[in-house]
Amino acid sequence: SYWERRVRSSARARAHAGHVVLVTGASGFVGTHVCLHLKRRGDGVVGLDNFNDYYDVELKRARQTLLGRAGVFVVEGDINDRELMEKLFDMVAFTHVMHLAAQAGVRYAMKNPASYVHSNIAGFVNLFEVCKSANPQPAVVWASSSSVYGLNSKVPFSEKDRTDQPASLYAATKKAGEEIAHTYNHIYGLSITGLRFFTVYGPWGRPDMAYYFFTQHILQRKQIEIFEGPQHSSVSRDFTYIDDVVEGCLAALDTAKKSTGSGGTKKGSAQFRVYNLGNTSPVPVTKLVSILEKLLKVKAKKKLLPMPRNGDVKFTHANISLAQRELGYKPTTDLETGLKKFVKWYLDYHSDLRKYSS
Ligand code: NAD
Ligand code: UGA
């Protein structure tokens, strides 16, 4: 069928030794960038996304258009759909899975907990069930989160630090993902790498994230709310630029050892790894706002509020020496440089949405 032809052609690697990668959450922020980079260097790439309406679906469609123009086909479907997933693995011998599909967002977990269970727990397990039985077994690289460090007050965060105090249901589902992944590695010999991203930002970003809707609100002269820590101290994030994170994702794919098992049996031991992908340079949210004011040349209407009691952590800060050593990961973009690129994209994208209608 037409659909199958599109999948097969999208999966074709240009170079003989190229990877063939299934990217879940392909029409998401990080997924779009990962797909473009993989395709550009000659890997075969098939995307999967359910286009849910957690945020502006038009933006997800625009990213899909961008991917289509680059030769990446995005299958519309849910990671919970076992039949669809098995069909994809029957059609294509994926060497790798880049699993980015999830319900993201920290504070939304209090509004819609079920969506986190659906995608980050049930869908997560379904994906691993399909991967463990696939022949050949793909190596899996997936997005965990800095939120697993939770209420840990020791900074910077190292991979060995405790992760038993999640501050939100979102964080708890990412932490659960790490535990579930470990069992699939242990029982079925799946090669699995978890990447703990730290507040990623950039062009084609997520409208639910602070840097994006602050930009929107500042331009529309609307008030923004800035959460403060206890005793009015500032809250900070280790904001990490998208291109740096993508470099880390590709390095994780390239260094993932091929799984040793196939068809659901364990034959030897495969890799199980977890890395921080942060920027190692936390910035207060108040500073994020002042950089945006400078770039947009508009003064923000600010309202200071206490931190939401359940959800946010006061600060995040990555120790990246493990990723540096084993993946050659080295972030190079500071917040102001990265925000400049985001603002340029934002103004361009919102000036003419028709550019990306399919
Ligand atoms: P995103 O929401 O833009 O991308 C996720 C994509 O997955 C969306 O397009 C969504 O439609 C899709 N999706 C969700 N549930 C699905 C399902 N059940 N089946 C199929 N598709 C589904 O988010 P993002 O910022 O690109 O994040 C990518 C990954 O990185 C997520 O796992 C997220 O939790 C994680 N992460 C992101 C950040 C960040 O700051 N952006 C930080 C830490 C971790
Ligand atoms: C982000 C992503 O949304 C999560 O999906 C991801 O897992 C997480 O990073 C991570 O690093 O693991 P968060 O850091 O909360 O979560 O990102 P934003 O929602 O953009 O918030 C950034 C900062 O702005 C936070 O300190 C938050 O407290 C603050 N904020 C947010 C405000 O001050 N006001 C707001 O209205 C919203």
DSSP annotation of 308: P
Whether the Cβ atoms of residue 94 and residue 75 lie closer than 8 Å to each other: no
All structural domains of the chain:
2-356 (3.40.50.720)
The closest alpha carbon to 248, from 329, 304, 324, belongs to 329
214 token code pair: 């602050």
Candidate of 27, 34, 37, 49 to mutate for ligand 1, largest count of ligand atoms within 8 Å of Cβ: 49
Separation of CA 209 and ligand 1 centre (Å): 12
CA–CA separation, 250 and 108 (whole Å):
29
Whether the Cβ atoms of residue 67 and residue 32 lie closer than 8 Å to each other: yes
Looking at the CA of residue 198, tell me the nearest atom of ligand 2. 11
Residue 75 CB–ligand 1 contact under 6 Å: no
pLDDT for the residue numbered 16? 73
pLDDT for the residue numbered 263? 46
Residue 20's H or E segment, with its range, is strand 20-24
170, 201, 241, 275: which one is catalytic?
170
pLDDT for the residue numbered 17? 75
* Amino acid in position 216: Q
CA–CA separation, 322 and 157 (whole Å):
11
Whether the Cβ atoms of residue 19 and residue 43 lie closer than 8 Å to each other: yes
Give the angle 48-49-50 at the CA atoms, nearest 5°: 135
354 token code pair: 């028709």
pLDDT for the residue numbered 264? 46
Q: Is 170 a catalytic residue?
A: yes
pLDDT < 70 stretches in the chain: 258-269, 358
Task: Name which residue sits closest to atom 33 of ligand 1, judged by CA.
Answer: 104
Separation of CA 319 and ligand 1 centre (Å): 23
The closest alpha carbon to 240, from 143, 128, 175, 170, belongs to 143
Whether the Cβ atoms of residue 104 and residue 197 lie closer than 8 Å to each other: no
Task: Give the binding-site residues of ligand 2, using a 6 Å CB cut-off.
Answer: 104-106, 145-147, 197-199, 209-210, 225-227, 235, 237, 285, 312, 316
Residue 206 CB–ligand 1 contact under 6 Å: yes
Whether the Cβ atoms of residue 214 and residue 224 lie closer than 8 Å to each other: yes
Alpha-carbon dihedral angle through residues 84, 87, 93, 96, given to the nearest 10 degrees: 10
ipTM: 0.99
353 token code pair: 């949405």
Task: Name which residue sits closest to atom 22 of ligand 2, judged by CA.
Answer: 210
pLDDT for the residue numbered 306? 87
Whether the Cβ atoms of residue 313 and residue 234 lie closer than 8 Å to each other: no
